[in-house]
Structure 1
Amino acid sequence: MSGCADYTQMCSNVSVVSECKTNTMLPGLPTTQDAAQYVQSICSSMAMDGCDACVFPAGGGYPQCDILSTYAHLCTSMPDMDQCASFKSICQATPSFSLCSSSGSTDAPPSMIMYFHQGIHEYVLFKSWVPNNNGQYVGAWFAIFFIAVFYQGLNVLRSNCEAYWLLSAEKGDKKWRLLGKNGFFVGYFAWKHTKIDLMRLVFTFIESTISYALMLITMTFNVGLFFAVVTGLAVGIFFFGRHRSLAGLAEAGKLDGCASCQ
């Protein structure tokens, strides 16, 4: 840069100034304009943690922030973005650069890698749930595994309850026809159906929440977490799948009651 002409002249030859030797050049370092464009391009294409650090003025110009640190933070989070080619070249040429060495720290945000990969440093649903060592990763694996097992058990319970409610509705319709259109019985059966609808609502809310949470975990593309989900689903169907046959018995009129569906 033109403002560095004096420094360049002083340090280009053999110099007794120690800073000329300790503060060496960073090959591939982008200009402020280029770094700002990279940051603006990344943050306009997706919402990432760190984008709020640099707010670009509506009328144009540079934001009042440390643009290079923000650029490095974003590229540490998702290094395979096209805008991060300059940052990767810096770190390849100067691995000791402070903004590059932070990428291997457990305090750095996990990388967002959109293909199957291994590793333990991963966001698991929440910003605060990030395994930073093997013990935490194993704990997260078993937590996800048991959630998947529970999901299968809940799914089987819901299918059995639906069968039981169907059988009860058929019996209720027969009772209603025999008793006539008495106001008390009309109100009773109306409340009973409303109660069943409310239970369906609760079942759907819990099942959908768990289902989408498991889907988001598999979308981390972490091999270990992916298999925590599918293994939990498989083990869950191993333990609970046989009980799904109760639904068929209920439809055939052979199931007298379902205590958990009351």
Structure 2
Amino acid sequence: MDHVDHMDHMNHMNHTTPPPHHMPTTGGGGHMMMPMTFYFGFRDVELLFSGLMINTAGEMAGAFIAVFLLAMFYEGLKIARESLLRKSQVSIRYNSMPVPGPNGTILMETHKTVGQQMLSFPHLLQTILHIIQVVISYFLMLIFMTYNGYLCIAVAAGAGTGYFLFSWKKAVVVDITEHCH
């Protein structure tokens, strides 16, 4: 039995036909077969949850906008967490450490270490925001993994727009005493 005959025999046993490469379908075992190549379509696109199906161009446009805004929010959340962290840093320590100087001499460099207390409101808030950020990042990853071109563009465009809008405020502090940049 050659490969084609074997596949035909397997299809008759499962009472199914091979799914199109771009449409999620239910196989013999009741599991969704997800597309493994990028495609542009708006029919039978499952979005994150089994009951959330996109079947019209209008639904895809709405999903595009929602995913775009979610990706923008994700980028804004990252920047907001960094800003909150800088504002909540409470303990400052100065550490001196020896470093080799010119002609075999030893110089002492002082580094400032900033931290926050574990049992504090700012740290609890950071923890909650981190959980939200992780969940959103996995949602965006799973949306991208639908391989739907429209949704993938929405993730990328939203993340890019969010970065453009929010990251320009990001302060970059360069320590001139730091030797490893």
Q: TM-score, normalising length from structure 1?
A: 0.46
> Alpha-carbon deviations, 1:189-230, whole Å to 9, x = none?
96x843222112101110000000000000111111001000
> Greater helix share, 1 or 2?
1
TM-aligned CA distance change 1:156 to 1:29, over 3 Å: closer
Q: For structure 2, which runs of at least 5 residues remain unmatched after alignment? A: 1-6, 95-115, 176-181
Structure 1 vs Structure 2 CA RMSD: 3.6
| Cross-structure match for 2:132 | 206
- Verify: 1:219 aligned to 2:141, yes or no: no
**CA displacement 1:211-254 (0-9 Å, x = unmatched):** 00000000111111001000000000111011112x649x9xxx
For residues 223 and 164 of structure 1, what CA distance do their matches in structure 2 show?
A: 40
Closer/same/farther in 2, CA of residues 243 and 193 from structure 1, 3 Å limit = farther
Show the counterpart of 2:100: none
Partner of residue 156, structure 1: 79
User: How many residues get paired?
Assistant: 143
Task: Write the deviation string for residues 131-169 of structure 1: whole angstroms up to 9, x where unpaired.
Answer: 111000100000000000011111000011112222x32
Larger radius of gyration: 1
The percentage of counterpart residues that share the same residue type is: 26
**Correspondence 1:96-245 to 2 at 5 A:** 112-120=34-42, 121-166=44-89, 168-170=90-92, 193-245=119-171
**1:54-65 to 2 correspondence within 5 Å?**
none
Larger strand proportion of the pair: 2
Q: Contact conserved, 1:218 with 1:225, CA < 8 A, in 2?
A: yes
Residues 29 and 114 of structure 1: CA distance in aligned 2, closer, same or farther (over 3 Å): closer
Change (3 A) 1:134 1:111: farther
* Residue 77 to residue 220, structure 1, CA distance change in 2 (3 Å): closer
